[in-house]
Structure 1
Amino acid sequence: MRILSLCALALSLLSLPPARAAEPVRGVYLASWEGLQALERLPEGRVNTLLLAFLRLCGPHELPKDRAACAGKPAHGLSDGAVEAAFNHALRQRKQREPGLRVWASVGGWGGSDGFFPMAASAATRAVFIAEVKRYLLAHEATDGIDLDWEHPGGNGAANGVALGGPQDGANYLALLRELRTALDELGREQGRRYGLSVAVNVTRPVLQRMHWPAMAPLLDHVFMMSYDYHGAWNPRTGHHAALQGAGQDDSLAESVTTLRAAGVPAQKLVAGAAFYGRAWRGVRSAQAGAAATGPGLNAEGAVGWRELKSLVQERGWQRGHDAARGGDWAWHPQRRVWISYESPASVRAKAQWAQAQGLGGVFAWEWTQDYGSLLQALRP
């Protein structure tokens, strides 16, 4: 009788539909400093993943602009305050209307990563940070996970005037992820939910090779690939800053995916990055990528959001083109000698379709407020 019951159970299990695969990520970072109106302007149903940027690390290498938010917080604590509380309230309401929406709190950023170096260096300092993460999650119940944007382990390029980093950062990062994953699992069991863990990384080989990917990958839900800023005004020549296909120069999404896959990261954990902004150079005498330049164009940083860029390149005097081999768009003004690399709706859609065809975990973009809606719509393959 027992054998017959087991057989019946086995047959019933075989008749069930196959388990539904996780929905690929369609995500955007949202700059919290743009205020709640940025969230209100984001059309509902267009993304399933929202990364709120940025929480900062307090204490060592704390940024001057974060001092108010860090007041009273421990060293290696998090800089949350009234802004994050307001977003939490708004996101709770939004998730009632969009039950599939996942919200991640992002820590760090290019200019805000310096605090990771001392925090990750010892078990004691990591414990302080992890306790702060747990505190934050309990106080901000709309948040489903933590996204670590330690964008330059091994060497920060003196982003804030102080050179930091060394070969020990790879092991320290792995230790941080292991301890944080354990803590998130424990908290999840207490709260009856699962908290996610992701990283956002510069995806050029020198940075990727500093990390212990075979051990890191199982701990992570997503690896948000910063497959943009491959080139910028810091380079003496122009280049496609968010190219899809490579030319043997380690400057494309396809090449970075190859590097990470070879390092042992499953394709479904890799999330391709798109740019809702362009990179501009001045002093450029040729329309072709690779031309000599003399510095940033259009503004001091040489970066311009799509909302401004779209109308700018349609003005008289601009030449526009698409590099089909690389999957990058460009615009050049011969008289002003300004050259811009950017992503159009067509190139963003092509990137999303390529990611889908490669079995990647989805696509995301930096950053929502730089768009007016056309690039957001193109994130869907």
Structure 2
Amino acid sequence: MHCRPSRSVRSRTSLACRVFALLLGLALAAGTCARSAPAEQAFRLIAYASGHTDFARIPAAKLTHVNYAFALVNEQAEVYFRSPDSAASHLAALTALKKVNPRLKVLVSIGGWGADHFSDAALTADTRARFARTAVDLMRQHHLDGIDLDWEYPGHPGPGGLKFRAEDKQNFTLLLRACRTALDAASAADQRAAGDHYLLTIASSDGDYFDRTEMSSLHAELDWINVMTYDRTGEWSKTTGHHASLFASKDAPTAPSTDSAVQQHLGAGIPPAKIVVGAAFYGRGWTGVGQQAHGLLQPAEQPIDGNLSYARLAREFIGRDGYERHWDSDAQAAFLWNPTTGTFITYEDPAALRAKANYVKQHRLGGVMFWEQAHDPDGVLVEALHATLLAAAPSGAVAAP
């Protein structure tokens, strides 16, 4: 995590006061830096939860953080909930999970696919301040622990022609800085300890996302970055492929993967402990797929609309009605193939997630986040991640804040 120097109390009344202030500042700064470099590596396991989630079934003891999706931004650069009563009920259920796991942190995620008005909110100092103030007010109103910005995407129109500008590149950094300042002020006002400050995170992508953002510098404002290492293929693709693989397939060596995204983040100077890789608790599929290679990297006639939750895949597809589970050892990814119907489904299963969690540990990254909890109500995939990432952590290691 980024070490932010504490503000020492300025006093000119006596040398003793100045010395005391200096020592206090050094102590607080040391405490803040300590959480970025613990004696033993700490990992995060972060769930995104939405209104579709059965909050009573969230395995709180196996998670470190929950991001509630989503708050939105209006034309006045204010952060709000479309259904405030429902959101209040959901957030009360999430914060109640701290009775099960007192270390659990709950954040509000702002934006998501199709969310507009980010470009306008980031445009001026006034709009950035209004965004930050209303985001922090919303967070404090619901007794949360931080905010997560999911702007999809700066400098890009997104679905339906969302507003964007070339200046988004610089303005995104300034927006995060405004949020960081407001969160720090709120942490001080609420007397939160250095190791329990209000959190600021984002959801990031890779590829040309780096051309439209200042990733090499903006990470200084953030506690960590949730990298969306999924949706690499889908209904927009004419050829089948893995949508969340750890590595590229042998026959598609330049295809984007979790590893390629991580390497791009590391190449921008982002500390490994700030990089949280994404996992998909859903699959994507096609019909009318070519028969070679069990349907992998083959032309497809028709995509399956939407995504397929892991719960549905386990209930209706895996090992049923001609669907065969296959493993791409190069990509460290699972897929389903039905040779009779020519249907191919890319998804993540426990084996793929164990490989992803082990990769995080090997490279000393920040952890794993997943979209979303509602797709795995029985906790099969959460258990695979928890058992590999947290339950098997070194003795004495704790979850990062």
Other-structure match for 1:26: 45
Q: 1:84 Cα deviation (Å)?
A: 2.3
Partner of 1:95: 98
In structure 2, C-alpha distance between the alignment counterparts of 1:259 and 1:132, rounded to whole Å? 33
Q: In structure 2, what is the Cα distance between the partners aligned to 1:313 and 1:53?
A: 29
Aligned partner of 1:306 in structure 2 is 310
Q: Which residue of 1 aligns with 2:382?
A: 376
Aligned to 2:296: 289
Equivalent residue, structure 2, for 1:218: 220
Per the TM alignment, residue 155 of structure 1 is displaced from its structure 2 partner at its CA by 0.9
1:51 and 1:75 map into 2 onto residues whose CA distance is: 21
- Superposition map of 1:1-381 within 5 A: 20-21=39-40, 23-31=42-50, 33-34=51-52, 38-59=54-75, 75-79=77-81, 81-112=84-115, 114-141=116-143, 143-157=144-158, 159=159, 161-193=160-192, 194-203=197-206, 205-246=207-248, 247-286=252-291, 287-297=294-304, 300-301=305-306, 303-311=307-315, 312-371=317-376, 372-380=378-386, 381=388
- Alpha-carbon distance between aligned partners in 2 of 1:171 and 1:25, rounded to the nearest angstrom: 29
Matched letter for residue 103 of structure 2: G
8 Å CA contact retained: 1:58, 1:79: no
Partners of 2:95 and 2:42 in 1: CA distance? 21
Q: Tell whether the 8 Å contact from 1:26 to 1:362 is kept in structure 2 after alignment.
A: yes
Q: How far has the Cα of 1:249 moved from its partner?
A: 2.2
Letter of the structure 2 residue corresponding to residue 34 of structure 1:
H
Structure-2 separation of matches of 1:208 and 1:283: 35
Name the amino acid aligned to 2:86. Answer: V
Three-state SS of the structure 2 residue aligned to 1:294 is strand
**CA deviation digits over 1:23-46, x for unaligned, max 9?**
310111011x225xx111112311
Q: Return the letter of the residue paired with 2:341.
A: R
Secondary structure at the counterpart of residue 344 of structure 2 = strand
Task: Tell me the TM-score normalized by structure 1.
Answer: 0.85
Identity of aligned residues (%): 33
Q: Which residues of structure 2 form unaligned runs of 5+?
A: 1-36, 389-401
Deviations 1:110-165 (A, max 9, x none): 122x2212211222221221121121122111x111000012212133x1x22532
**Greater relative contact order structure (CA < 8 Å, 6+ sep):** 2
**Distance in 2, Cα, partners of 1:174 & 1:19:** 27
Alpha-carbon distance between aligned partners in 1 of 2:349 and 2:95, rounded to the nearest angstrom: 33
Instruction: Answer yes or no: is the 8 Å Cα contact 2:177–2:221 preserved in 1.
Output: yes
Kindly indicate whether the alpha-carbon contact (under 8 Å) linking 1:364 and 1:379 is maintained by their aligned counterparts in 2: no
The 2-side partners of 1:129 and 1:284 are apart by 46
Greater alpha carbon shift after TM alignment, 271-280 vs 239-248: 239-248
Distance 1:173 1:20 in 2: 33
**CA shift for structure 1 position 358:** 0.5
Give yes or no for contact 1:78–1:129 (8 Å, CA) kept in 2.
no
Distance 1:29 1:163, change over 3 A: closer
User: Cα RMSD between the aligned structures?
Assistant: 1.7
Aligned-partner Cα distance in 2 for 1:343–1:186: 41
Contact map agreement 1:250 1:256 (CA 8 A) in 2 = no
1:162 aligns to what SS in structure 2? coil
Conserved? CA contact 2:47–2:63, under 8 Å: yes
Aligned to 1:63: none
How far off is 1:19 after superposition?
Answer: 5.1
Deviations 1:31-65 (A, max 9, x none): 1x225xx1111123111111111111123xxxxxx
Question: Which deviations, in whole Å up to 9, do the C-alpha atoms of 1:280-303 show, x marking residues without a partner?
Answer: 112212224210012312xx22x1
Q: Which secondary structure does the structure 1 equivalent of 2:61 belong to?
A: coil
Higher mean C-alpha displacement, 248-257 vs 80-89: 80-89
Q: Single out whichever of 91-100 and 46-55 deviates more from structure 2.
A: 91-100
Moved over 4 A (4+): 18-22
Q: Is the 8 A contact 1:285 1:334 kept in 2?
A: no
SS in 2 for 1:254: helix
CA contact (8 A) 2:95 2:106 kept: no
Equivalent-residue separation in structure 2 for 1:317 and 1:149 (angstroms): 39
Q: Secondary structure at the match of 2:355?
A: helix
Distance 1:223 1:75 in 2: 23
SS in 1 for 2:114: coil
Q: Is the 8 A contact 1:329 1:344 kept in 2?
A: yes
